[in-house]
Amino acid sequence: MNRVRCLVLNAALGPLDYKVPEGMVVGPGAVVECPLGPRTVIGIVWEAERLAGTEVPAEKLRPLRGVLPVPPLSAALRRLIEWTADYYVASLASVARMALSSGGALKGPATMTEYRLTGGLPERMTPQREAALGALEGEQATIRELAGIAGVSEGVLRGLVNHGALEPVEVDCDRPYPPARPDFVEIALSAQQREAADIFSNAVRKAEFAPFLLDGVTGSGKTETYFEPVAQALRMERQVLVLLPEIALTENFLHRFEERFGAPPVLWHSSLKSTERRRAYRAVSEGSAQVVVGARSALFLPFARLGLIVVDEAHETSFKQEEGVRYNARDVAVMRGHFEQVPVVLASATPALESLQMAESGIYAKIDLPSRYGGAQMPTIETIDLTEEKPPQGMWLAQRLVDGIEARLERGEQSLLFLNRRGYAPLTLCRNCGFRYQCPNCSAWLVEHRFTNRLACHHCGHEAPAPKTCTECGEPDCLVACGPGVERIADEVAERLPQARVFVATSDTLNSPGRAAEFIAAVEAREVDVIVGTQLVTKGFHFPELTLVGVVDADLGLEGGDLRAGERTYQQVAQVAGRAGRGSKPGEVLLQTRHPDAPVIAALAAGDRDAFYSAETEMRREAGAPPFGRWASIIISSEDDAEAREAANRIGAFRPDVAECMILGPAPAPMALLRGRYRYRFLINARRSVQLQQVIRRWLAAIDHPPGVRVAVDIDPYSFV
């Protein structure tokens, strides 16, 4: 009899066996419909010997309902799913779900209806109809999309359809993407770029696993360099995956990619429309999507013929997923390269210590680009000691920094002020009674946003209008803003340099690819003199007229003091400094600090990266921190504080006693309340020799909890709140 074992997409269930009905052909990786009680769930046929399950007698097996019309998940992807679940202590089902990330794509080929102008006019013209007819010239899209383009309601367009001015067109949902051409434009590489590019291209040609760390200073042209192995993969008809840390960066990337290859790459991120998702997913699985650029979730797409993986800005902490399966896309990318037998390029100007250590121990090949492209010089970096050069009362910028901006204004050059704090002020309190405005759902202060005149929580999204009178004591007009956010810095620039045109660049203002594109265009057209921005502007952007970078508070990242505070500060400041002087004019960087002697600030000012990294490495070695030891955290949460505490204590009572493995907790997490859930935490620090995942899995497996309790395991955590 023909039976198969299936991984079903339900984390609460183990593997299930089914009968394969007469005439159905399925092999490992096939995506199938499995009967489960009265329902049907999606499952993936798996190698039975790799999934422990209880043998069910043949006569009790139910038959599979069907096979979904998508190619089976490859063995390489199945191994990646197993590895990810195992390493991050997650269920196989929750990881497999990330590989089946488009419900529409699983339904098979489909068509949809789009509309376009016929050239005819409606009998009765209205101003809205006229506007729509003008705006839709040359467009073809769904009614909803056309309504967005024309800025009219869908009803207006339906009226035009009824009058014959718009006509329906049936289109294939999965129509092919325009082809990228490896030799569309030849780019002359510098000697150092050429050397690096050849190494990568040879690795693509060999089609073997080969992890690389591309360590190139800001402005060295890392993108142009890794475009060469991309071209090589295209010539071999192999697919490429490029991971970028933020969608705000993709606009710039798309533009450069299209100039080089004559067509845009295929995009993959969480805000795609479902029709775009299914089209991309199916093209990836059939092998016709040549180059996919995406956020970390693209890592689990079912590539048919992968030939190369690039992780750009590989040090970025946003590659770490902080909910669901808490994986690090940088590390999973390397594992995918391993299972697919393809090279992986991790590109960065400020590599993570973990990546440098992998290079040191010979596991990654380190390829350096030590100088900027086209003879541009690295910027000079100086500190401003705020304890000596005090900004005026109630202000945040030292006079020397303001003078620097003014000099740029006079020369028609641009400045960038970096402060990693959205909004106007990070804390609002009442002058009369001292009340501090706190989020009702989180252990966090509310942040004032003056543009929208609201108080907002940056953790859960809670928002309320800024009150006119104190909600605690009732005193009118008594709220004081404490500390600066980017909006407040922008106000200060406007006050001290009224002629400056200031742009605030944060996730609030650059919240879509379109707005990011507008921002880039405005800066390139020199319609902006001063950019005030958060970490969003620290990387990727290339503005030749930007010659001054001011770091408003270089000490900010060191507060909180978690394991990576020093490294993160170094990376952020070095990256934002890297925005200065990328063209022919030299760049200058001013770091405002209260601790000019702190090792990380001193290393930045001295431009001594090696000194910083070796001091940081020693510190980590002594602390048994990654990459020399391992960390994990377990967060127990519930909407009910007592329930969460009891669950944490119950887990604590079963704490395993393992040599060279230290378990701290349970204790209230630093964010003791987050999004309405009370949180308790264990922190685990272990030697590398300890089988950490196994210890944790065995420990937690034996303990049951009420349904309101969530237990989340975070391996190699980045967040310590």
* Beta carbon of residue 453, minimum distance to Zn ion (angstroms, whole number): 19
Nearer to ligand ADP by Cβ, of 223 and 535: the residue is: 223
For residue 175, the SS3 value is coil
In degrees, rounded to 5, the angle at the alpha carbon of residue 283 between the alpha carbons of residues 180 and 319 is 85
Nearer to Zn ion by Cβ, of 210 and 721: the residue is: 721
487 contacts 423 by C-beta, under 8 angstroms: yes
CA distance 396 to 394: 7
Which of the residues 648 through 677 are near Zn ion (CB under 5 A)? none
Show the tokens assigned to 721: 């709140």
Question: Which does residue 441 bind out of Zn ion, ligand ADP, none, counting CB within 5 to 8 angstroms by kind?
Answer: Zn ion
Amino acid at residue number 408: R
Size of the site for Zn ion (CB under 5 A): 7
List interacting residues with ligand ADP (CB under 6 A). 187-190, 193, 216, 218-224, 373, 542
Question: Which does residue 442 bind out of Zn ion, ligand ADP, none, counting CB within 5 to 8 angstroms by kind?
Answer: Zn ion
* Beta carbon of residue 552, minimum distance to ligand ADP (angstroms, whole number): 23
Question: Which does residue 460 bind out of ligand ADP, Zn ion, none, counting CB within 5 to 8 angstroms by kind?
Answer: Zn ion
Nearer to Zn ion by Cβ, of 315 and 677: the residue is: 677
Nearer to Zn ion by Cβ, of 445 and 720: the residue is: 445
Question: Which does residue 235 bind out of Zn ion, ligand ADP, none, counting CB within 5 to 8 angstroms by kind?
Answer: none
* Beta carbon of residue 466, minimum distance to Zn ion (angstroms, whole number): 16
Residue keyed to tokens 């001091």: 615
* Beta carbon of residue 350, minimum distance to ligand ADP (angstroms, whole number): 11
Show the tokens assigned to 298: 């693209």
* Beta carbon of residue 721, minimum distance to Zn ion (angstroms, whole number): 12
Show the tokens assigned to 560: 């909180």
Letter string b/e over residues 97-115, b meaning 16 or more CB atoms within 10 A of that residue's CB:
bbbbbbebbbeeeeeeebb
* Beta carbon of residue 431, minimum distance to ligand ADP (angstroms, whole number): 46
* Beta carbon of residue 333, minimum distance to ligand ADP (angstroms, whole number): 18
Which of the residues 409 through 468 are near Zn ion (CB under 5 A)? 439, 441-442, 457, 459-460, 462
Annotate 119-150 with DSSP letters as a single string: S---SS--HHHHHHHHHTTT--B-HHHHHHHH
Question: Which does residue 193 bind out of Zn ion, ligand ADP, none, counting CB within 5 to 8 angstroms by kind?
Answer: ligand ADP
Question: Which does residue 700 bind out of ligand ADP, Zn ion, none, counting CB within 5 to 8 angstroms by kind?
Answer: none
Question: Which does residue 510 bind out of Zn ion, ligand ADP, none, counting CB within 5 to 8 angstroms by kind?
Answer: none
Question: Which does residue 216 bind out of Zn ion, ligand ADP, none, counting CB within 5 to 8 angstroms by kind?
Answer: ligand ADP
Nearer to ligand ADP by Cβ, of 48 and 254: the residue is: 254
Nearer to ligand ADP by Cβ, of 17 and 313: the residue is: 313
For residue 189, the SS3 value is coil
Amino acid at residue number 390: K
Nearer to Zn ion by Cβ, of 399 and 443: the residue is: 443
Nearer to ligand ADP by Cβ, of 397 and 577: the residue is: 577
CA distance 134 to 555: 53
Nearer to Zn ion by Cβ, of 508 and 524: the residue is: 508
For residue 46, the SS3 value is strand
* Beta carbon of residue 294, minimum distance to ligand ADP (angstroms, whole number): 18
Residue keyed to tokens 């002058």: 431
Question: Which does residue 542 bind out of ligand ADP, Zn ion, none, counting CB within 5 to 8 angstroms by kind?
Answer: ligand ADP
Task: List, in order, residues 6 or more apart from 211 with CB less than 8 Å away.
Answer: 334, 337, 343, 344, 346, 358, 363, 364, 365
Question: Which does residue 645 bind out of Zn ion, ligand ADP, none, counting CB within 5 to 8 angstroms by kind?
Answer: none
CA distance 682 to 669: 8
CA distance 645 to 680: 7
445 contacts 439 by C-beta, under 8 angstroms: yes
Query: Residue of minimal CB distance from ligand ADP?
Result: 221
Nearer to Zn ion by Cβ, of 275 and 441: the residue is: 441
End-to-end CA distance of the chain: 53
- Any contact of residue 576 with Zn ion (CB under 5 A)? no
Nearer to ligand ADP by Cβ, of 375 and 561: the residue is: 375
Question: Which does residue 459 bind out of Zn ion, ligand ADP, none, counting CB within 5 to 8 angstroms by kind?
Answer: Zn ion
CA distance 476 to 425: 19
Pairing relationship of beta strands 454-456 and 463-465 according to DSSP bridges: antiparallel
CA distance 204 to 228: 10
* Beta carbon of residue 519, minimum distance to ligand ADP (angstroms, whole number): 17
* Beta carbon of residue 202, minimum distance to ligand ADP (angstroms, whole number): 19
Nearer to Zn ion by Cβ, of 447 and 556: the residue is: 447
Show the tokens assigned to 361: 């121990």
* Beta carbon of residue 27, minimum distance to ligand ADP (angstroms, whole number): 43
* Beta carbon of residue 677, minimum distance to Zn ion (angstroms, whole number): 11
Kind and range of the H or E run holding 411: helix 399-411
CA distance 557 to 29: 45
* Beta carbon of residue 295, minimum distance to ligand ADP (angstroms, whole number): 18
Closest CA to 71 of 282, 342, 340, 307: 282
Nearer to ligand ADP by Cβ, of 260 and 320: the residue is: 260
CA distance 188 to 186: 7
Question: Which does residue 221 bind out of Zn ion, ligand ADP, none, counting CB within 5 to 8 angstroms by kind?
Answer: ligand ADP
Task: List, in order, residues 6 or more apart from 73 with CB less than 8 Å away.
Answer: 29, 31, 44, 81, 99, 302
Show the tokens assigned to 247: 């969608």
Burial class (CB in 10 A: 0-12, 13-18, 19+), 641: middle
User: Site map for Zn ion, 490-529, x if CB under 5 A?
Assistant: ----------------------------------------
Chain residues binding Zn ion by CB under 5 A are 439, 441-442, 457, 459-460, 462
